[in-house]
Structure formats: structure tokens, C-alpha cells
Amino acid sequence: FDQNDNKEYFLALNVDPSIRQGQTRYSFIVINFYEVEEEEFTLNLTEEDKIKHKDLQAEYTGPVGSSFLKIMKILTNSKVFTTKDFVTKEGNRSLKCASKAYEGYLYPLSKSLLFLPKAIYMPHGDISLVEFSRVNLSVLTAKTFDMKIFTSEGQFTFNSIQKEDFGPIERYFSEHNINVRSEVIDDQDEYSEEEDEEDTTDIMNTSDGEED
């Protein structure tokens, strides 16, 4: 999965059974690759390897991430999923956003959504509702919107998504028959809150001046 700048890529490996560390289970191993010029390297294959994995090549040339993916696909006999069903107006295949304290990218896939690098996996079948908030506010008031996804595993909130990406992600959910709703916020309420804060600040500053 590219990170919108086409210079860095994520490779997320789904492991079953999950890896356990303490009380936490991890279903994904996430590897970050930096796209560089083509590199050539050789695999130390034994005769047994050559017989067991006939499609493995002795030498690979190209970006390390792409070569690693080809090798893992052969060794694990697994399917590879990429972002083909979604594209933003800027031509990106993911939404740059944040989940709690973690910044990352949300990838809308053909049958699921995946947030990386702090892996959050949400199959379409587990999603009951997607709620958008701060969408109707003017660009002057808010340049981003938030999205909460309700699943059978819990609720996941993604913040600071660019306003221009609302159309593509809303269309994506519609095409995949996923229920959505929008929380309506009045611009006047936002301005009122800001004015109240400014008034309070003025009063506090005035009081400070009188005490001096």
C-alpha cells in the first residue's frame, strides 16, 4: 500500500493464528519499505527449496519491497490485496487521517478497510454503520471532517480527513452497500462557541489588568 507520496510503502502480512505479546494479540505484521532505485540480490536457495518452490528465482532485480512481496506470495501461497476500488480527486488510493494518537492512512479495499501503520482491520461484513461529522461546515470553519465506523468489534474514529475526500469515500460506501449517516452541525453554533471563548478571554485579561 503506497502512502500517497509514492516514496514509501506498507506491506501488511495477515498472520493466523495471531501473534501474542502479553495480553495483546496482533493479527498483522506491518513492514515499511522506502521506494529506491532498482536493486539486485541473490537468494541462497538449497536444492530442496528449488524443488519445493519452483517459481522462486535465484536472482531478483527491482525495488526491495516489490521483490519481497513476490517472494512472500510464493512461499506462503497467499493472495495479495491492493487498493483498486478507491481513488481520491488527487489520485491517491488512501485517506490520510488519524486514529486516536496514531497518524496514518486508511485504505478502502474491495471487501474491507485497513488503517496503517497501526493496523485496524474492518471487514465490510462487520460494519453496521459509518457516521460522518463536521462535513456540512464551511471550509472557513473546518477544512477537515471526521468519520466513525461502527463494527461488531467496536467503534473506530478517524479524524482530520480532508474535505475534498468526502465525495470519494461516501461513494465508496454507497457502492458497497454500507449504511452511512451525517451528523449536522450548525455553523452558527461553531461561531458562537468561538465568540464565547474570545469574550471569556477578554474578561480574564481585563480582570488581570485591574488587579495590577
Per residue in 58-113, pLDDT (tens digit) is: 999 988 888 888 898 898 888 888 778 799 988 889 999 999 999 999 999 999 99
Residue 54 shares a structural domain with residue 101: no
52-56, 57-61, 123-127: which has the highest mean pLDDT? 123-127
pLDDT digits (tens, 9 = 90+) for 147-173: 999 999 999 999 999 999 999 999 999
Amino acid 4: pLDDT: 55
How many CB atoms are located within 10 Å of the residue 182 CB? Answer: 15
Instruction: Flag whether 15 is in a domain.
Output: yes
pLDDT at 108: 95
Q: Which domain holds residue 18?
A: 2-76
- CATH number of the domain to which 64 belongs: 2.30.29.150
Element housing 47 (H / E): helix 47-52
Look at residue 181 and tell me whether its pLDDT is greater than 50.
yes
Specify the higher pLDDT residue, 201 or 104: 104
The grid coordinates of residue 107 equal: 485504505
**How remote is the C-alpha of 133 from its chain's centroid?**
18
Instruction: Report, as an integer, the average pLDDT of 171-191.
Output: 79
Distances (CA, A) of 61 to 21, 35, 38, 157, 179: 36, 13, 6, 41, 45
Total domains in the fold of the chain:
2
CATH classification at residue 118: 2.30.29.30
> What pLDDT score does 176 carry?
96
